[in-house]
Amino acid sequence: MPLDPARPNFLVEHGDTSVPGPFSVSRDDAVFVDVIHTDSSLIMDKVLGSVPYPNLGIFQSLGHADFYPNGGHTQPGCMDIISHFNYLPACSHLRVLEYYITSISEDCEYKSDRCTYEAEILLGWCTKCDNGCNKMGYYATKPDTNVLYYLTTNSQSPYCKQEKTSSSWWRNKRNVN
């Protein structure tokens, strides 16, 4: 599972856009590749390619299930909206570790809404999930087709906004065929 795949050295210039390079993760790397994007920018992926800038991650879909908490860019609690002086350059990039750990060990579910297009993620216009939702992190399951997912988190621990049900906590890890 790629946790906020890094931009430097993993995106390459291809014409006027950037594409994942030969060392980037892809759907072909495993039976099920689920990706969590926490520090990326679609606009910057297309404009800057591998040029260093504050966002360290890649926005482009790379897996069978790509999760974009809070739109996949600056995470809540990592930047003061009023002043950019509180910005911690790697905060959003590293927040993915806390999300993944809490998806395993705490009474937390990261239920995610299904998206069709990258623009829906940026606008928060994804299809609301009421039941049978895929969950970001340890309990993610492989969808029938490649899917993008959106969810929101809290700005500090506990990050999840949903509590786990007892049945999902005790079920087996990843059921992939």
What is the CATH number for 148? 3.40.50.1820
pLDDT at 82: 45
**In this prediction, what percent of the chain has a pLDDT beyond 70?**
72
How far, CA to CA in Å, does 172 sit from each of 31, 91, 99? 17, 31, 19
**What is the per-residue pLDDT across 30-72, written as a single tens digit (0 to 9) for each?**
999 999 999 886 554 444 444 444 577 888 889 999 999 998 8
Averaged pLDDT, 75-98: 71
Tokens standing for 152? 């929101």
Has residue 72 been placed in a domain?
Answer: yes
Q: Are 96 and 81 in contact (CB under 8 A)?
A: no
Has residue 24 been placed in a domain?
Answer: yes
Q: What is the pTM of this model?
A: 0.79
Q: List all residues 6 or more positions away from 174 whose beta carbon is below 8 Å from its beta carbon.
A: 32, 139, 140, 141, 142
Domain of residue 83 covers: 11-170
How far is residue 102's CA from residue 131's CA, in Å, rounded to a whole number?
21
Has residue 39 been placed in a domain?
Answer: yes
How far is residue 51's CA from residue 48's CA, in Å, rounded to a whole number?
5
Has residue 177 been placed in a domain?
Answer: no
Q: Provide the number of structural domains found in the chain.
A: 1
Has residue 6 been placed in a domain?
Answer: no
Torsion sign, CA atoms 153, 83, 122, 32: negative
Q: Label residue 88 by pLDDT band (50, 70, 90).
A: low
